[in-house]
Structure 1
């Protein structure tokens, strides 16, 4: 009888815990809309005590929260919907971007040795934001062209080119973390290096005509500074990609 009571008590505790988790983080939903996302980001930013452990990828009980938080489907389900209007999608993209900027400061805590406590989660969030920005800026420029009398005018081109330059600058900020490479775990360094390859390749392929001169200068500086083999390797690969893209543009101008 006592064993039954203990079992029922334990079951009740598990059920209560699951209900509390679902209330804070709606994991049963296929994706999080912007209201869900804003609520979850606010919960992570303001709902945890300073000594309380945040959800992590290494914790089986909270891993799904981080995976859901960084699931691109949260924004692609809206931003990629061809039935929705461009203005509506831009408003959604802007809302996700604002929430991501707040979220980007959640997993940046350092330990007593000045190492990142949540490096894998921080990078997962950052990578989510890079993918989001690619779609966000693309939609913004698309709306500018749609609402313009002459989408091919010099004024429109100047505005859209300026937006692309901002996007490139935002991506370049990712390279600042080379200065903090010692703060990452070995796994974190690998994830960071993979991010250089993945996201700068996407950026250059998406906007091959953009001005990447500042990226090139940054890469040259970081190549001299990094001591981590995977990071140096991906910076070298990025440097080659930038040179190839620059040569293609020169060849195109000649022709």
Structure 2
């Protein structure tokens, strides 16, 4: 009986290892560059069978894949390096931004009860993109200012303000996920709230003089819809932060 049990365990282990090795990822690299993302996104989007589970945070063997995929240091190592040229960093930021848009398709699946199959992973991808956009839009605006004959001209200011408005609108799209609150697990709702706490405060700190009236209105509407205490607390903090900035700007 012990021999049979051992053989069964051995067969299970072998099958598990074969399944893991079926998909190749550069997990031994410290940072993934845009070429790595080309291959990884392609594999995660199209390399899995419909009934095959993708890497998750809850899978001890494969969680490193999700962690590497959503590691913000992958882009920060380049975009925060002031020794590199502004044009080069803009080019890399653009590539990462395009990759992120493809990444958003990896973990969108829902079950027959309209519950997200990968809510924590989907939100981790969202957070990767929220952080990336802070770098992407700032670098783009910095290059516009650097290349302008007159950085203080009305036309340049209008372009900068338009770009800031775009990132604010992109962030508002994240708040739309609160409409799908029932599709999240409790851990997912907590992670959703955490994204509001971290990235929205960073956005407002980066652009304190911007117009956040649309974001405030959206937050107020979502506050009335949400049933999660964590999400509602985060929305209240966001509204209070916007109110405080509006008060400061009026002085």
Relative to the length of structure 1, the TM-score reads: 0.90
- The 2-side partners of 1:221 and 1:248 are apart by 24
- The 1-side partners of 2:20 and 2:228 are apart by 41
After superposition, residues 19-38 of structure 1 pair within 5 angstroms as 21=23, 24-38=24-38
Shift of 1:149: 1.0
Partner of 1:121: 121
SS of 2:58's equivalent? coil
Shift of 1:83: 2.2
Partner of 1:246: 246
Partner of 2:177: 177
Deviations 1:131-179 (A, max 9, x none): 0000000000011011111112111111011000000000011110111
- The 2-side partners of 1:38 and 1:60 are apart by 24
Tell me: CA distance 1:154–1:186, structure 2 relative to 1, closer, same or farther (3 Å).
same
Partner of 2:164: 164
After superposition, residues 1-255 of structure 1 pair within 5 angstroms as 21=23, 24-251=24-251
Partner of 1:3: none
Partner of 2:3: none
Unpaired runs of at least 5, structure 2: 1-6
RMSD: 2.2
Unpaired runs of at least 5, structure 1: 1-5
SS of 1:112's equivalent? coil
- The 2-side partners of 1:28 and 1:14 are apart by 20
